[in-house]
């Protein structure tokens, strides 16, 4: 299906105005110009459709490069096609002068005058009289497309028709490429601009908003932001290019149709213009740079030729003038048509020219020049560019530069640079998620350091390699960092030891690390040491179950890190900042958790450890849920899963899938939750405590809604390592499941765990009240149970956890003989969108569930349909519709149609 025409409201308005004028007897000529693919033909098609709607006769013809030698080809095509629809008409009577143009049996052979100019004039007049006859009965639209390929005679004949039809009902619309007007087309355009009956309509590229609309239409859905940005940048508002990029399956490739359009333009250039355009495609630059590299005569005249044809443009930034190819896809195609040798030669020449003035601008040319540059100089330039890319957190650019720099270092025999180059390249590879490649490079760098006896680099590489193995989840290789030296190593080294101990779930190792952290201030007096020591004290307090102490020590760790220099601050802030939202929730400060969940200042760590970036998103998912924003939590979970897939480590993907499965189960989207759970279990590795906790939580939440088995690990006591909040939620949901399955022993164990931890964590104390209330309700002690559940709800509301609070309040109301309507309404608002809880709230209201047909009828009432319209829509009788409505009023305890309409609008997602 042809996509709708977007971004051309002004042009369509001009066409509509012209159609109106022609209908009133005033001829019009529209000359539509623009670059290839800009939408001239599409606009002409819209004009044709609009003209047909007003009863116009239509004549259409188009030029073609294959018909370049055929005189009047588009005119002949248009007239023959139209006359074929009028075989019995008298349109051609007496027009024998047109016989040389249109072979038609109704036309006698025109007599020869011996004067070609006179015969041509008579033929022009005969065509004009034919158009007069056509427009005598009704207005006509004459469309000639691709006029830039037409012969001179066609252009002159169209000019004659336009001038001779000012007082006739004829609208002429001619499209051509403005970048290549040439002699007769330029004269025609000038004449049209000067004539009050003509409009020279130059089509500009679509706006970014219009491109977004077009991409959405082509996809049939809202495009992803990154995809839309790529299409917008490459297409530069040209509709044909937008359509080709979207429909080509890969936005990074040049579609064939785009390549053909561009090559058609490039092949018309002479050799000198083509060479200069190729140079500009390789490197947009100042005229001075381009002149130095091109080194041929006539630079200014060739540059002017390219500029006049719209192939290049000038950009002015203060005193600097830059010349570049006017369209990025033209530059891509021009570059792609060069041989590898030609590209390298141009890059080498540009690198040499730029090296004298701007080393960093020369870097991409040194990178792409191959072996045509001095390897030692190339190594130095590319290494500097790679280091700068790392400094601005552009990992892929750093990989591009450093990998080539490493090759040049080998060629130049720069063994002194190899270890540092390998280290930086491995870090860049790690940042791009190429963890196996990074591991191989670390191993090679370590071998070189061992061979050279460089013990300092070996120690440094030991830390880097341990962090990488933690990132990869490679538990077998984790216990690898060198022993921490409190006199030589910076305190951050202990954070690596802590990470290794956590990842390997080695409690003995963890306590050894914590002891060193706590003793650190005896040997080092610095804010770095204080930050690490307080962090160690926080973890130690957490392991002892002292969550209040853990929060206080974590806060001191962050304060010490905040006093450090910027380049060190992020490294020391990351771990305590990641703990802060979870400790804030356990403390009962959920708004505080939301404020700190973004973990600002951790960009440096997240850059080199993509999995750390995901972990921040994972924590944000759970915190957002606890804060009562389930839709927001699901949105974060979706983004977190995409990020996990990008990182590519199975254990990270499992954790993201499990988090989303938990949220979907809470929302009542059980089919989707089951799909995520199945996908998570297919990648499951029980060696990772984090994914065991996350998967157990999701499996338990799902089992609450569906009769299904759960893993034995869900019943384990709280684990001292791993995700605190996820594990405590797992304990709480195991308690809810035990109550649902009337397993009193398991329910009481959950109460005991939560009650002990709740002594230093207000959030867990509230969950303990809820769990104990549910457990007592199971034994029949409804009065005490109701009191505990209300206390839990009050506490959770006060902390800022409305979803969990409303759930506890519903459970209390279910134990009440006369539940408070206001409380029911409050719960209904808080739990809107959670399908399992909507039914329970409705049951409290005495509202019975509607049947499927009743829901359909009520939904249509909400849309404003009458009983008759509903009957017609659902293929029912009106009496049947009335019966369904009667039952719905009764079940919902409503009495009027407006009340039913309001109910339908409020429950559209039920």
Give residue 1's pLDDT: 46
Alpha-carbon 900 to chain mean position: 41
Map tokens 């060696």 to a residue.
687
Shared domain for 762 and 816, answered yes or no, is yes
Helix (H, G, I), strand (E, B) or coil at 32: strand
Q: How far is CA 735 from CA 695, 704, 728, 738, in A?
A: 16, 10, 11, 5
Which residues sit opposite 491 in a β-bridge? none
**Is residue 424 in some structural domain?**
no
- Domain range for 212 is 208-253
Q: What is the pTM assigned to this prediction?
A: 0.65
Give residue 604's pLDDT: 65
Map tokens 């101990």 to a residue.
501
**Is residue 1 in some structural domain?**
no
Q: How far apart are CA 188 and CA 148, in angstroms?
A: 12
345: exposed, middle or buried (C-beta count within 10 Å: 0-12, 13-18, 19+)? middle
Map tokens 């929302």 to a residue.
667
Q: Examine the fold and report which residue of 844, 871, 889 is the final residue of a domain before the chain moves on.
A: 844
Q: How far apart are CA 864 and CA 269, in angstroms?
A: 65
Alpha-carbon 178 to chain mean position: 35
**Is residue 782 in some structural domain?**
yes
**Is residue 709 in some structural domain?**
yes
Q: What is the pLDDT of residues 632-658, one digit of tens each?
A: 999 999 988 988 887 777 888 999 999
Enclosing H/E stretch for 185: helix 182-194
Q: Examine the fold and report which residue of 202, 232, 265 is the final residue of a domain before the chain moves on.
A: 202
CATH number at residue 31: 3.40.50.300
Q: Which of 147, 258, 251, 238 is nearest to 200 (CA)?
A: 147
Give residue 588's pLDDT: 95
Q: How far is CA 379 from CA 364, 421, 429, 674, 716, in A?
A: 12, 10, 18, 53, 56
**Is residue 664 in some structural domain?**
yes
Question: Residues 42, 48, 52, 53: what is their CA dihedral angle, to the nearest 10 degrees?
Answer: 50
CATH number at residue 874: 1.10.10.10
Shared domain for 40 and 99, answered yes or no, is yes
Shared domain for 671 and 770, answered yes or no, is yes
485: exposed, middle or buried (C-beta count within 10 Å: 0-12, 13-18, 19+)? exposed
Residue 666 · residue 626 · CB < 8 Å:
no
Shared domain for 867 and 787, answered yes or no, is no
DSSP 848: P
**Is residue 348 in some structural domain?**
no
Q: How many domains does the chain have?
A: 5
Give residue 191's pLDDT: 67
166: exposed, middle or buried (C-beta count within 10 Å: 0-12, 13-18, 19+)? middle
Residue 282 · residue 335 · CB < 8 Å:
yes
CATH number at residue 582: 1.25.40
Q: How far apart are CA 734 and CA 701, in angstroms?
A: 8
Which residues sit opposite 57 in a β-bridge? 140
Shared domain for 581 and 681, answered yes or no, is no
Shared domain for 232 and 175, answered yes or no, is no
Residue 531 · residue 560 · CB < 8 Å:
yes
Alpha-carbon 218 to chain mean position: 16
How many other C-beta atoms can be found within 10 angstroms of the C-beta atom of residue 825?
Answer: 12
**Structure tokens of 889?**
């009023």
Shared domain for 695 and 832, answered yes or no, is yes
Residue 689, φ and ψ in degrees, nearest 5? -60, -40
**Is residue 554 in some structural domain?**
yes
Shared domain for 82 and 122, answered yes or no, is yes
Helix (H, G, I), strand (E, B) or coil at 471: helix
Shared domain for 798 and 839, answered yes or no, is yes
Shared domain for 177 and 228, answered yes or no, is no
Q: What is the pLDDT of residues 704-738, one digit of tens each?
A: 999 888 888 888 899 887 789 999 999 999 999 99
Q: How far apart are CA 813 and CA 525, in angstroms?
A: 58
Shared domain for 161 and 224, answered yes or no, is no
**Structure tokens of 421?**
């180059």
Q: Examine the fold and report which residue of 823, 844, 865 is the final residue of a domain before the chain moves on.
A: 844
Give residue 254's pLDDT: 78
Residue 823 · residue 805 · CB < 8 Å:
no
Give every residue of the chain whose pLDDT is below 50, as ranges.
1, 181, 479
Shared domain for 836 and 865, answered yes or no, is no
Radius of gyration of the chain (CA): 38
Give the sheet arrangement for strand 57-62, strand by strand: 57-62, 140-145, 170-177, 28-34, 198-202
Give residue 799's pLDDT: 96
**Is residue 421 in some structural domain?**
no
């Amino acid at each position: 299906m042809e996509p709708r025409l977007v971004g051309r409201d002004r042009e369509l308005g001009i066409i509509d105005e012209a159609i109106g004028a022609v209908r009133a007897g005033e001829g019009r000529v529209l000359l539509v110009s623009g670059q290839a693919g800009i939408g001239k033909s599409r606009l002409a098609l819209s004009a044709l459709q609009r003209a047909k709607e007003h009863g116009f006769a239509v004549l259409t013809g188009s030029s073609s490069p294959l018909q370049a030698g055929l005189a009047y080809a588009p005119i002949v095509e248009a007239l023959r096609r139209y006359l074929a629809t009028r075989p019995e008409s008298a349109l051609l009577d007496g027009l024998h002068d047109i016989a040389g143009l249109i072979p038609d049996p109704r036309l006698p052979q025109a007599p020869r005058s011996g004067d070609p100019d006179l015969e041509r004039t008579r033929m022009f007049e005969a065509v004009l009289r034919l158009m007069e006859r056509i427009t005598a009965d009704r207005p006509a639209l004459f469309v000639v497309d691709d006029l830039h390929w037409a012969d001179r005679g066609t252009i002159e004949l169209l000019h004659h028709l336009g001038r001779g039809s000012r007082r006739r009902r004829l609208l002429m619309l001619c499209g051509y490429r403005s970048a290549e007007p040439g002699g007769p087309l330029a004269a025609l355009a000038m004449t049209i601009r000067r004539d009050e009956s003509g409009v020279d309509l130059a089509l500009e590229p679509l706006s970014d908003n219009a491109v977004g609309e077009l991409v959405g239409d082509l996809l049939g859905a809202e495009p992803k932001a990154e995809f839309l940005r790529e299409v917008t940048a490459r297409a530069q508002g040209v509709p044909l290019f937008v359509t080709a990029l979207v429909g080509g399956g890969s936005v990074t490739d040049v579609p064939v149709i785009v390549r053909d359009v561009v090559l058609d333009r490039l092949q018309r250039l002479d050799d000198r213009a083509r060479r200069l355009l190729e140079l500009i495609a390789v490197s947009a630059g100042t005229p001075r740079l381009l002149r130095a590299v091109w080194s041929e005569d006539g630079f200014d005249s060739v540059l002017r030729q390219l500029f006049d044809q719209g192939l290049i443009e000038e950009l002015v930034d203060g005193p600097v003038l830059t010349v570049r190819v006017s369209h990025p896809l033209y530059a891509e195609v021009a570059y792609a048509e060069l041989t590898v040798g030609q590209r390298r030669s141009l890059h080498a020449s540009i690198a040499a020219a730029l090296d004298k003035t701007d080393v960093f601008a020369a870097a991409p040319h040194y990178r792409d020049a191959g072996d045509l540059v001095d390897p030692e100089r190339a190594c130095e330039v590319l290494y500097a560019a790679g280091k700068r890319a790392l400094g601005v957190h552009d990992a892929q650019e750093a990989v591009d530069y450093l990998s080539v720099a490493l090759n040049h270092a080998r060629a130049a025999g720069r063994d002194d640079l190899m270890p540092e180059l390998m280290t930086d390249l491995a870090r860049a590879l790690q940042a791009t998620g190429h963890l196996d490649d990074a591991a191989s490079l670390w191993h090679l760098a370590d071998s070189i350091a061992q061979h050279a006896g460089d013990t300092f680099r070996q120690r440094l590489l030991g830390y880097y390699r341990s962090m990488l193995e933690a990132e990869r989840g490679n538990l077998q290789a984790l216990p690898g960092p060198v022993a921490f030296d409190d006199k030589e190593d910076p305190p951050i080294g202990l954070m690596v030891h802590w990470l290794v101990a956590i990842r390997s779930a080695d409690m003995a190792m963890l306590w050894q690390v914590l002891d060193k952290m706590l003793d650190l201030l005896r040997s080092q007096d610095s804010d770095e040491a204080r930050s690490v020591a307080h962090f160690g004290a926080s973890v130690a307090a957490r392991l002892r179950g002292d969550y209040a102490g853990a929060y206080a020590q974590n806060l001191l760790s962050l304060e010490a890190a905040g006093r450090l220099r910027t380049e060190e601050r992020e490294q020391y802030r990351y771990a305590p900042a990641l703990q802060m939202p979870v400790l804030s929730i356990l403390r009962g400060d959920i708004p505080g958790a939301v404020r700190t969940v973004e973990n600002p200042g951790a960009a440096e760590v997240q850059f080199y450890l993509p999995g750390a970036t995901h972990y921040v998103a994972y924590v944000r998912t759970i915190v957002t849920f606890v804060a009562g924003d389930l839709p927001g939590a699901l949105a974060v979970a979706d983004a977190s899963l995409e990020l996990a897939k990008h990182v590519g480590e199975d254990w990270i993907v499992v954790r993201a899938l499990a988090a989303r499965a938990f949220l979907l189960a809470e929302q009542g989207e059980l089919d989707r939750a089951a799909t995520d759970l199945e996908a998570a279990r297919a990648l499951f590795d029980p060696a990772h405590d984090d994914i065991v906790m996350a998967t157990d939580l999701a499996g338990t939440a799902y089992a609450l809604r569906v009769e299904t088995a759960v893993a034995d690990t869900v019943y384990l006591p709280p684990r001292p390592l791993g995700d605190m909040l996820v594990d405590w939620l797992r304990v709480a949901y195991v308690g809810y499941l035990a109550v649902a399955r009337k397993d009193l022993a398991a329910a009481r164990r959950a109460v005991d765990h939560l009650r002990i931890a709740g002594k230093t964590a207000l959030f867990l104390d509230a969950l303990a009240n809820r769990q104990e209330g549910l457990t007592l309700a199971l034994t029949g002690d409804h009065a005490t149970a109701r009191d505990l559940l209300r206390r839990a709800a009050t506490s959770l509301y006060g902390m800022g956890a409305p979803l969990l609070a409303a759930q506890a309040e519903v459970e209390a109301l279910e134990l009440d003989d006369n539940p408070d309507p206001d409380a029911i309404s409050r719960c209904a608002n808080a739990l809107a969108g959670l399908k399992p809880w909507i039914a329970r709230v409705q049951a409290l209201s005495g509202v019975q569930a509607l049947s499927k047909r009743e829901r359909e009828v009520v939904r249509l009432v909400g849309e404003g349909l009458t009983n008759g319209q509903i009957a017609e829509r659902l293929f029912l009788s009106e009496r049947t519709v009335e019966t369904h409505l009667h039952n719905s009023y009764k079940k919902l305890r409503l009495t009027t149609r407006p009340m039913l309409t309001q109910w339908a609008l409020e429950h559209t997602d039920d």
